[in-house]
Amino acid sequence: MKRFAKFFLSAALISMIVSIASCSGGSPGSGATSQNPITPSVTVIPASSSITMAQNLAVTITVSGTTGMPTGSVILASGSYTSTATALSSGTANITIPSGSLSTGADTLTAKYAPDSGSSSTYNSASGTASVTVTGPTVAVAVNIDALAVS
């Protein structure tokens, strides 16, 4: 009987060790449903790929993943411009960049996603980019030759 009890206890102990090792750790007491968060896809869609400095630019940011709808917020930045954090609604955020906020030339818009407490056990932080070209004002110079007097 003692041999059977030792065998049974040894088998139970080994089974528990294998079970604990196979769960890949996790944080103690977290109660999380996913112990290995995934990185979602962040898509940045400017309303136009080319604007002038005098134009606002509407930008749509979509965050999507394979497990449920990501929740949290995004921040959009380019050069010296940085938006305030905007909460996702059904995985999407809309941000308008005010006119004059971007530098002339090629600008890279970078959206950074931060999961909230409801998504942090499922999703990592992530970012996405898009490009936009900003042109400066056109200056026209007119010279009236007839108005020039030669003496």
Residues 50 and 134: their CA atoms lie apart, in Å, by 6
DSSP 3-state percent helix, strand, coil across the chain (nearest 5) = 15, 40, 45
Q: Which residues contact 73 (CB under 8 A, 6 or more apart)?
A: 85, 86, 87, 88, 93, 113, 114, 116
**pLDDT at residue 35, rounded to an integer:** 73
Length of the chain: 151
**pLDDT at residue 21, rounded to an integer:** 44
pTM more than 0.75: no
pLDDT in 10s for each residue of the chain, 151 residues:
565 545 545 555 555 544 444 444 444 444 445 579 999 999 999 999 999 999 999 999 999 999 899 999 999 999 999 999 999 999 999 999 999 999 999 999 999 999 999 999 999 999 999 999 999 977 777 777 766 666 6
Contact by Cβ (8 Å): 93, 78: no
CATH 3.30.300.160 is held by the domain 41-133: no
Instruction: Kindly list the domain boundaries of the chain, sorted by start residue.
Output: 41-133
